[in-house]
Structure formats: structure tokens, C-alpha cells
């Protein structure tokens, strides 16, 4: 499958992938995505509502009208790690594999879900399940990044774990994997 870039050229997606990667190097800018964290207590009311894939509404609870904010992507409380990864990070991984630079970072208040989004629900489990030696810890972390670890339920890994797994998958499937040593 191929994707059309913003300048009209056709860009092939990565081979062996069922997702459509688009290269954003033709549109070099900061992309801002917002992920709304689920509330812990059902009794709480949410002051943020997703209006569309790129717009949210913030209601301060005052007499003022709710304010609307536009972003490149808005993910609601029920958005999966995979959905967030495929929309925000997978295209950047493909760009990196094509020789371009990319960065992904999370910003927000304490407890807002940054670590969960970037690493998954149990970020320390993979690094500490090895039993003590750094070699065992590295093996455990490698298992987690390759999908064989127990750091989180399958598919619930964070963006960075998924990105590293995709990079290693690309290397393994490459015609010349020795070029990556």
C-alpha cells in the first residue's frame, strides 16, 4: 500500500506491515496529540469532552461557556495504546528507518498518564524481573520489547516499547541484517 504525501508524491508503506505509515518529513512541524486519561472514580465528572479526532472541549464548571481547543490528534478515555501508537509514533519510526530524525515526548502533570502511554502499565516489571544481575535485567527488557516479556498484556505496551519492537522487527526482516551491527 502507498500513501500520498503533502507534496503529492507517493510514499510506499513499510513492507510486512498491516498499517499505513506516512512519512512526515515533507511536513516538518511539531505534531501535538492529547490523550485523555480515564478517571479513577466513577463519581467524578469529567470536565473534558472529545468533540472530534482533533478537538476537545474544556468546561471549567463556571458560568462561562466551555472552551474548545484544536490539536492534531485527540484520543479519548477508551483509546488503546495501539491506536495512539499507530497514529502518533509508527509514522515517525518509519521516518527514522528511512534516515530522518524524530522525537516523541510526553508532557503533563503528575499522574496524567505519561508513563503509561510511553512505557505501558507496568514499566518497571520488565527491568526488575531478571533477578539481580544487569545481564538478566537486559535480557528481561529485551524480551519485553520483543513482545516475549511480561511487562504488560499483549498489545498494551507503551509507545516506546512498540517503537523499539518495530525497529528490531525491521532489522530482522531486512535483506541485510548485518548492516545494522
147: left (phi over 0), alpha (psi -120 to 50) or beta: left
Residue 134 annotated as lining a ligand binding site: no
Average pLDDT over residues 95-117: 94
- The answer on whether 99 is annotated among ligand-binding residues is no
132 is annotated as contributing to ligand binding: no
Q: Is 150 known as a binding-site position?
A: no
At 27, the pLDDT band (50, 70, 90 cuts) reads low
What homologous superfamily is domain 2-121+156-180 in, according to CATH?
Kinesin motor domain (3.40.850.10)
What's the rounded mean pLDDT across residues 152-180?
A: 87
Helix axes 159-173, 90-97, angle to 10 degrees: 40
Q: Which residues contact 57 (CB under 8 A, 6 or more apart)?
A: 48, 49, 51, 66, 67, 68, 69
Residue 153, pLDDT score: 52
Q: Output the CA–CA distances (angstroms, integers) from residue 78 to 37, 39, 56, in the order listed.
A: 9, 11, 15
Say what the pLDDT of residue 179 is.
81
Lowest average pLDDT, out of 45-49, 132-136, 156-160, 171-175, goes to: 132-136
Look at residue 96 and give its three-state secondary structure: helix
Residue 180 is predicted with a pLDDT of: 78
- Looking at residues 142-163, what average pLDDT do you find? 66
User: Mean of the pLDDT values across residues 99-121?
Assistant: 94
Annotated binding residue at 113?
yes
How far from 30 is each of 51, 62, 72, 74, CA to CA, in Å? 22, 32, 9, 15
Q: How far apart are CA 87 and CA 10, in angstroms?
A: 19
Position 160 scores a pLDDT of 97
Alpha carbon distance 168, 11 (integer Å): 22
By percentage, how much of the chain surpasses pLDDT 90? 50
Judge whether residue 154 has pLDDT over 80. Answer: no
What pLDDT, on a 0 to 100 scale, did the predictor assign at position 26?
A: 54
| Rounded Cα–Cα distance for residues 126 and 156 (Å) | 14
Q: How far is CA 169 from CA 98, 153, 165, 174, in A?
A: 15, 19, 6, 8
Give the pLDDT of residue 110: 95
Establish whether 115 is an annotated binding residue: yes
Percent of the chain at pLDDT > 70 equals 66
- pLDDT band at 43, cuts 50/70/90? low
pLDDT of residue 56: 96
Q: Does 81 have pLDDT greater than 80? A: yes
Amino acid at each position: 500500500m502507498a500513501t500520498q504525501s503533502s507534496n503529492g508524491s507517493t510514499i510506499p508503506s513499510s513492507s510486512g506491515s498491516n498499517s499505513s505509515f506516512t512519512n512526515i518529513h515533507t511536513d516538518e512541524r511539531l505534531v501535538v496529540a492529547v490523550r485523555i486519561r480515564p478517571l479513577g472514580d466513577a463519581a467524578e465528572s469529567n470536565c473534558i469532552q472529545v468533540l472530534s479526532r482533533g478537538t476537545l472541549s474544556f468546561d471549567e464548571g463556571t458560568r462561562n461557556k466551555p472552551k474548545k481547543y484544536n490539536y492534531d490528534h485527540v484520543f479519548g478515555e477508551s483509546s488503546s495504546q495501539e491506536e495512539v501508537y499507530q497514529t502518533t509514533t509508527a509514522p515517525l519510526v518509519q521516518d527514522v528507518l528511512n534516515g530522518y530524525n524524530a522525537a516523541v515526548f510526553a508532557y503533563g502533570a503528575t499522574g496524567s498518564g505519561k508513563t503509561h502511554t510511553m512505557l505501558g502499565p507496568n514499566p518497571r516489571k520488565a527491568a526488575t524481573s531478571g533477578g539481580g544481575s544487569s545481564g538478566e535485567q537486559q535480557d528481561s527488557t529485551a524480551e519485553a520489547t520483543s513482545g516475549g516479556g511480561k511487562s504488560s498484556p499483549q498489545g498494551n505496551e507503551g509507545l516506546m516499547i512498540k517503537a523499539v519492537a518495530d525497529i528490531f522487527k525491521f532489522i530482522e526482516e531486512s535483506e541485510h541484517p548485518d548492516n545494522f551491527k
